[in-house]
A and B are shown apart, each in its own frame.
Chain A
């Protein structure tokens, strides 16, 4: 205590700062940084969890790039991103733009769109899976049948299964995007709109020349945030294809599911770690590119 009393105010601050940071430092070093380094390390090794770890250099990466399943998975992962992000952002913006102009039951309407965000992806994957079943079980096909339209194969088709699995992911994320867009719209000063109206600018031009440019920070945030989400899709795929994970014929398998399979069904830890490193690099490159492109415009 005498030692502490002799310290200057700024020295006391340093002592206190590290008292506050002591436990978190241990946490970040052992639970974040060490595992990150370990993942990279294991990706250069051959290890089936029981046997010995042997150093294999870049063999795992070579194997990955020669694996046709990886390229299929890579393509799927980007399909989730390329379809999911624009579709959900456009829908979210259109809905937010109009909710912003509605006064009557404003809160209720906003809540209706937001509710799916509060659900668990696993539970909703099973609900949607039921929807997609063929007649006489599934809601969608029953509905089509009642209109006299031909049945659609959803989860059993190699072409339809991926969008069918993506739909609940888009649906669940919309609520968040809508309220973030609405907050962004609110932040635009009304004076811009008044000026535009006095100048006789058409609503369409107002949208393109005022609203969208001023929403840019919001759009950048949502693009990056939702892209990361779609690139990491797993819960929906796993639960909607439990009888053949990632099927049919790997047509819905995303990278995270391949990692899970390799590591916890195949116990090929080195190979799985190499896949996680690729996932990390994909996420990094995609977010940096998006930030670069969107900020410059």
Chain B
């Protein structure tokens, strides 16, 4: 009995579908299930490089060539070796200081410029805006040679300032912040003006708190960009003490040559900070990236 039931059901459904009956849908749950499995599988595949990196960083050299994800004999020896080197700690500090300082600078200056262009009426406003926006069209790579010449002349080679100065402000940030200050009602600012606040105080205490989500989005982008920046730090630094993590990792990996477990440990050490931050502030970061991507 049951077999006949099963054989009839699909055909009757197909018949109904052919009549174009609105109420009939394909077996949704089944399709949904397949879709979910494929998406989830794809997602796991996406993080496989990261998983392999982490897994190998806990393996002894003899096990590196094994495809298993969980080390048979997990070890912290690689981390010990890499950290005993001392340079990683140094590079980590450099990257952190540089990324934090450039982020603070961008949040401060980009929003200051964005606010001025949005809320003050003054001659030349449009020209200033277009001039700043036009720098978006100029690729960093076109400026590295002049920046290098400038740094040589002014003694900025091999200094934190030398690494940081090109990124202290970005046109992207100005544009993003200007967009968000448009949403701050002028009445709020007028009320503060009547209360006797000066323009700087109005910007800092009234307008800035209202665009916090945008500031956070900008901060995420700038921090990530500077944390992973490679070409300029590579050019401007000569001594290893001044290297940032990506430049240091390149040097370290070239030295190691075939000791992949140590290279993976170094790679893990330079990736983990951002990964951990992401795991904690996941929703927040994704929202920020969408916001910056769509408005910027």
In Å, the complex CA distance between A99 and B247 comes to: 36
Whether the Cβ atoms of A171 and B53 lie closer than 8 Å is no
Whether the Cβ atoms of B169 and A115 lie closer than 8 Å is no
In the assembled complex, the CB of A161 is this many whole angstroms from the nearest CB of chain B, namely 18
In Å, the complex CA distance between A19 and B274 comes to: 36
**Chain B contacts with A in 255-269, Cβ cutoff 8 A:** 258, 260, 263-264, 266-268
Contact A126-B275, Cβ < 8 Å, known A13-B120, A104-B36: no
**Chain A contacts with B in 173-192, Cβ cutoff 8 A:** 174-176, 179-180, 183
A123 interface residue per 8 A CB criterion: yes
CB neighbours (8 Å) of B65 from chain A are 136-137, 142
B205 interface residue per 8 A CB criterion: no
Which of these, B49, B116, B144, B199, contacts A171 with CB under 8 Å?
A: B49
CB neighbours (8 Å) of B27 from chain A are none
Whether the Cβ atoms of A112 and B43 lie closer than 8 Å is yes
Whether the Cβ atoms of B22 and A183 lie closer than 8 Å is no
Whether the Cβ atoms of B249 and A122 lie closer than 8 Å is yes
Contact A122-B230, Cβ < 8 Å, known A38-B146, A115-B47, A127-B52: yes
DSSP class of B's interface residues: helix, strand, loop or mixed?
helix
Contact A119-B274, Cβ < 8 Å, known A35-B146, A39-B145, A131-B49: yes
In Å, the complex CA distance between A146 and B125 comes to: 65
CB neighbours (8 Å) of A269 from chain B are 145, 149
A238 interface residue per 8 A CB criterion: yes
CB neighbours (8 Å) of A228 from chain B are 139
Whether the Cβ atoms of A35 and B150 lie closer than 8 Å is yes
Whether the Cβ atoms of B67 and A126 lie closer than 8 Å is no
**Chain B contacts with A in 155-211, Cβ cutoff 8 A:** 165-166, 168-169, 199-200, 203
Mask of A97-138 contacts with B, CB within 8 angstroms, 1/0: 011011011011111111111111111101110110100110
Which of these, A19, A36, A127, A242, contacts B138 with CB under 8 Å?
A: A36
**Residue on A nearest B220 in the bound complex, by CB:** A118
B253 interface residue per 8 A CB criterion: yes
**Residue on A nearest B44 in the bound complex, by CB:** A112
In the assembled complex, the CB of B137 is this many whole angstroms from the nearest CB of chain A, namely 6
Whether the Cβ atoms of B42 and A283 lie closer than 8 Å is no
Whether the Cβ atoms of B169 and A24 lie closer than 8 Å is yes
Contact A126-B231, Cβ < 8 Å, known A17-B122, A118-B224: no
Whether the Cβ atoms of B113 and A17 lie closer than 8 Å is no
In Å, the complex CA distance between A168 and B224 comes to: 18
Contact A16-B49, Cβ < 8 Å, known A99-B39, A121-B228: no
Mask of A227-254 contacts with B, CB within 8 angstroms, 1/0: 0100010110011001000000000000
A55 interface residue per 8 A CB criterion: no
CB neighbours (8 Å) of A273 from chain B are 145
Whether the Cβ atoms of B250 and A242 lie closer than 8 Å is yes
**Chain A contacts with B in 205-240, Cβ cutoff 8 A:** 221, 228, 232, 234-235, 238-239
Whether the Cβ atoms of A118 and B137 lie closer than 8 Å is no
Whether the Cβ atoms of B50 and A116 lie closer than 8 Å is yes
Mask of B124-166 contacts with A, CB within 8 angstroms, 1/0: 0100100110010111111111111110000000000000011
In the assembled complex, the CB of B197 is this many whole angstroms from the nearest CB of chain A, namely 12
CB neighbours (8 Å) of A20 from chain B are 112-113, 115-116, 120, 199-200, 203
Whether the Cβ atoms of B67 and A142 lie closer than 8 Å is yes
B212 interface residue per 8 A CB criterion: no
Whether the Cβ atoms of A130 and B263 lie closer than 8 Å is yes
Contact A10-B250, Cβ < 8 Å, known A130-B260, A232-B141: no
Whether the Cβ atoms of A28 and B132 lie closer than 8 Å is yes
In the assembled complex, the CB of A192 is this many whole angstroms from the nearest CB of chain B, namely 17
In Å, the complex CA distance between A112 and B132 comes to: 36
In the assembled complex, the CB of B186 is this many whole angstroms from the nearest CB of chain A, namely 12
Contact A112-B47, Cβ < 8 Å, known A120-B227, A139-B67, A235-B230: yes
19 interchain pairs, CB-CB under 8 A: A20-B115, A20-B120, A31-B147, A31-B168, A32-B135, A33-B135, A38-B146, A119-B271, A120-B249, A122-B249, A126-B249, A126-B266, A130-B260, A139-B67, A180-B294, A232-B140, A234-B230, A280-B137, A283-B137
Q: Sort A-B residue pairs by CB-CB distance and give the 5 closest, nearest first.
A: A112-B43, A35-B146, A20-B116, A123-B267, A17-B120
